[in-house]
Structure 1
Amino acid sequence: MGQLSESEMDESNNNIGSKILAESSENKSKRRIKIPHIGILYGLLSSVFFSFNALLAKLLSLNAVQIASSRCFIQYIFLFPYLIYKEKMDGILGSPKIRPFLWLRGFCGSVSGMLFYLAVRNLSVGNAVTLAFLDCVLCPILGRIFLKESLTVMDYVFALIAFSGVILIAQPPFIFPHLSSTTTESAFGVICALVSALMASSSYLSIRKIGTQTHYLIVTWYYSIVGCILDPVILIISGQYQPPCLSQIPIILLLTASGFLGQVTLTLALQHERAGTVAVLLTLQIIVVYFVQVVFLNDIPSMLSIIGTVLIFCTSIGIGARKIINERRRRVKK
C-alpha cells in the first residue's frame, strides 16, 4: 500500500528536478547585478560615440555623401541577417499602418545624416555639432505644426536664445561686415547643419508617431535602406564617387560602428531613463567635441563661436531640465 510504482517514482523525480531548476533560475535572476542609473551611463556613452563619429567624419578625406552611404551600407549588411533571424519578413517591414512613418523616418534620418557630414566637412567639428543640437528647439515647433502640440512661452524664449547662438556661430557678413572668417564654405556648412537639424526633428516626430509599435532596430534598418538608395543616386548624379583607399577602410568601419553604437546606446538610455535626463546628457557631446577639436585638431574657436555655443548649450540644458520638472509634476499629480 505505501510503496510507489516505478512510473510514479520517475514522475516524482522529474517534478523534483523541475522544481530545482526553477529555483536555480530564480536564484540566478536574483543574483543578477542591477547597475543603478544604467540609463545615465548609456546616455554618456551615446555622447562619446556620437562625438567620436563626428571626429572620424572630419578626418576621413572622402565626399560627405559617400561617408553617409558607406555607413548606411555597412549598417544594412549587419542588421539584415539579425532581423531575418529574429523576425519574419513582415516583422522586418513593420506593420502596414506604420510603414509610411517608417519610410518617412528613414528618409528624414538619412538626409539629416548626409547633411550633417557635409556640415562637418565645411565647418569646425564643434560648430557643426552645436548647430545640429537645434533639433531640440525645432522639435516643439514642428510638433505644433504637424501634431497640434501646444507651445509655451518658454519654447519661444528657448528658440530666440538658440537663434542668437546660430547668428554668433554663423557670423553673417550683413551683421558682422568687418569679420573675414565668414566664407562661402562656412556659409554652406551652416545651411547644411540647420537643414540637418530640421530633418532630424522631422525624424524624431515620425519616431514619436511610431512609438513602441515596432522594434527599435527596424527603425534603424529603414534609415539604412533609404540611405543605401538615396546616397548612391546623389553620388551618381553629381559624379563625385571616389573609391576609398585601403587605409581609409578601417576609419569607415570605425565611423559606422560609432554611429550605430551611438544610436543603440541612445535607445537604451531612453528605455532606462527619462527623456529629459537623456536630453541633458546628450548636450555633453558639445563639450566632448570641442575638447577633441582643441586638443587633437588644434582648432581653437573664435570668441563669438564660443558665446554662440554657450547659448545653444544652455538652451539644450534648459529644455532637458524643463522636461524633467514636467515629468516630476505629472508623477506628483498621479
Structure 2
Amino acid sequence: MPEHLELQQLVDISAGSGDETVPNLLENKRPLLKRCPYLGLLLATLSSLFFSLCSVIVKSLVHIDPLQLAMFRFIGVLLPTIPIVIYTEQPIFPKGKRLLLALRSFVGTVGLMLSFYAFRHMPLADASVIVFSVPVFVALFARVFLKEPCGMWNTISIILTLIGVILITQPPLLFGGEKPQHYSSLFGAVAAFSSTIFGANAYILLRVLKGLHFSVIMTNFGGYAILQTFFYSVAFGILCMPNCGTERFLVVCLALFSYLGQVLLTMSLQMEQAGPVAIARSADIVFAFFWQIMFYNEIPSRYSVLGAFLVLSSVMLVGLRKWALGLPEDSELRKKLGILAQ
C-alpha cells in the first residue's frame, strides 16, 4: 500500500543495494532466525494485517474526511521517527536533496490521500487490490525516468495487472452504461488507480534518494505531509476534531496500526529477502476480502475475484523474480526457478 512507500529504501537494501546506514533492529536476536526460519515472512504477514486494519478504519470513519485521516496517519509516521533522526544525528535537510525530498513527500502524500478516498468510495477488497498493484507499475516508470530495462516478465506483469484493474473497476465503456453495482460513482475507481500512479513515482524517487538514512526520508515525509494535508483541510473547510469516544479511539488506532505495520515490515526485510517479503505482503489482499465480507457484508463479484487473482499473480511474479535475481549464481534454488532468474 502507498501508506508504507517510505520503506522501499529498506527493500532496496534487503535486495542487496549495499547501503549500511539503516540500523539493525535485530542485532542481538539472530538465534530467533534459527529457531523460526520463517519469522521474517510471519512478520511481513502481520504487517499486512495491521495495514489492512488501517483500511477498515478509514472506511468506517464516515464522518471524518479522508484528508484529515491522512493527516492523523502522518502524525503517526512523524512522531516515532523524530527520536531516531536525533539519535543518529542525521541532517534533516541534506544539501542537494531538499527538492527531491519535498517532491517525494508531495507525491507520496497525494498517493495516500487518493488511496484513502478509494477505500471510502469502493468496496474494501477492490480498492486494496488496485492500490496493492503499485510495485508492478514501478518497472514501467523506472524505464521512463531511470532508463532501467523493462523485460518480458515485467511487461507480462503490467499487462496482467491492467486486465485485473479493468475487471475490478468495470468501466462503463467496456461493461455497459450502468455503473458497477457496489460503487456510488466511478470516483473511487479513478482515485484508486491514480494512487498507484503517484505511488509508483514515489518508489522511483526513493530509489534516487536511497543513499539517505531512512529516518531522514520519513521525517521529511511526515513533516511535509502534515503541512500539506492541514492546508488542504483548511482550504476545503473540512478541518474538525473527531468526536469523543469511538471516533477518537479509532483515529489513535489508525496511527498506531500504521506505525506497527511499518516496524514489522522493517524487521521482516532485515530477516528475509525482498522477494519473499513482497509475496507475503500479498496477504493484504486476502485480509481485505475477509474484512469486506465480515464487516460490510459485501460479497465480491466474479469480476472482482478474477481481477484480484490476476493482480495477485502479477505481484507474486514480481516478488519471485526479485527473489530469483537476488540468489547467488550457483544457487540450486536459482536453477530451479529457471527462466525467472534470466
TM-score bucket of the superposed structures, by smaller chain: 0.7 to 0.9
Residue 184 of structure 1 and its aligned partner are, at CA, apart by 7.2
Residue 32 of structure 1 and its aligned partner are, at CA, apart by 5.6
CA offsets per residue over residues 143-165 of structure 1, 9 Å max, x none? 01111100112222211111111
* Counterpart residue number, 1:289: 288
Q: Contact 1:172–1:182 at 8 Å: present in 2 too?
A: no
SS at match of 1:175: helix
Q: Which runs of 5+ in 1 are unaligned?
A: 1-28
Q: C-alpha separation between the residues in 2 aligned to 1:331 and 1:200?
A: 35
Q: Quick check: which has more Rg, 1 or 2? A: 1
Q: Is structure 2 residue 61 aligned with structure 1 residue 60?
A: yes
* Counterpart residue number, 2:220: 222
Residue 209 of structure 1 and its aligned partner are, at CA, apart by 2.0
Residue 179 of structure 1 and its aligned partner are, at CA, apart by 4.7
CA offsets per residue over residues 6-45 of structure 1, 9 Å max, x none? xxxxxxxxxxxxxxxxxxxxxxx69964453432122112
Q: C-alpha separation between the residues in 1 aligned to 2:85 and 2:301?
A: 46
SS at match of 1:301: coil
* Counterpart residue number, 1:47: 48
CA offsets per residue over residues 196-254 of structure 1, 9 Å max, x none? 1111111122222222531x233222221121111111112211223210121110010
Q: Is structure 2 residue 267 aligned with structure 1 residue 265?
A: no
Q: Which runs of 5+ in 2 are unaligned?
A: 1-27, 335-342
Q: C-alpha separation between the residues in 2 aligned to 1:112 and 1:73?
A: 17
Q: C-alpha separation between the residues in 2 aligned to 1:100 and 1:42?
A: 34
SS at match of 2:299: coil
Q: C-alpha separation between the residues in 1 aligned to 2:304 and 2:323?
A: 29
Q: C-alpha separation between the residues in 1 aligned to 2:294 and 2:183?
A: 27
- 1:1-334 equivalent positions in 2, closer than 5 A: 33-34=32-33, 35-61=36-62, 62-84=64-86, 86-88=87-89, 91-93=90-92, 95-177=94-176, 179-181=178-180, 185-214=184-213, 216-247=214-245, 248-328=247-327, 330=329, 332=331
Moved over 6 A (4+): none
Q: Does 268-277 or 126-135 show the bigger shift?
A: 268-277
Summarize the Cα distance change of 1:81–1:57 in structure 2 as closer, same or farther, 3 Å threshold: same
SS at match of 1:151: coil
Summarize the Cα distance change of 1:109–1:331 in structure 2 as closer, same or farther, 3 Å threshold: farther
Q: C-alpha separation between the residues in 2 aligned to 1:31 and 1:49?
A: 25
* Percent of residue pairs identical: 28
Q: C-alpha separation between the residues in 2 aligned to 1:282 and 1:200?
A: 16
TM-score computed with the length of structure 2 as normaliser: 0.81
Q: Contact 1:111–1:199 at 8 Å: present in 2 too?
A: yes
Summarize the Cα distance change of 1:101–1:274 in structure 2 as closer, same or farther, 3 Å threshold: farther
Q: C-alpha separation between the residues in 2 aligned to 1:87 and 1:252?
A: 30
* Counterpart residue number, 2:19: none
Summarize the Cα distance change of 1:313–1:144 in structure 2 as closer, same or farther, 3 Å threshold: same
Summarize the Cα distance change of 1:182–1:226 in structure 2 as closer, same or farther, 3 Å threshold: farther
Aligned length: 301
Which amino acid counterpart does residue 119 of structure 2 have in structure 1?
V
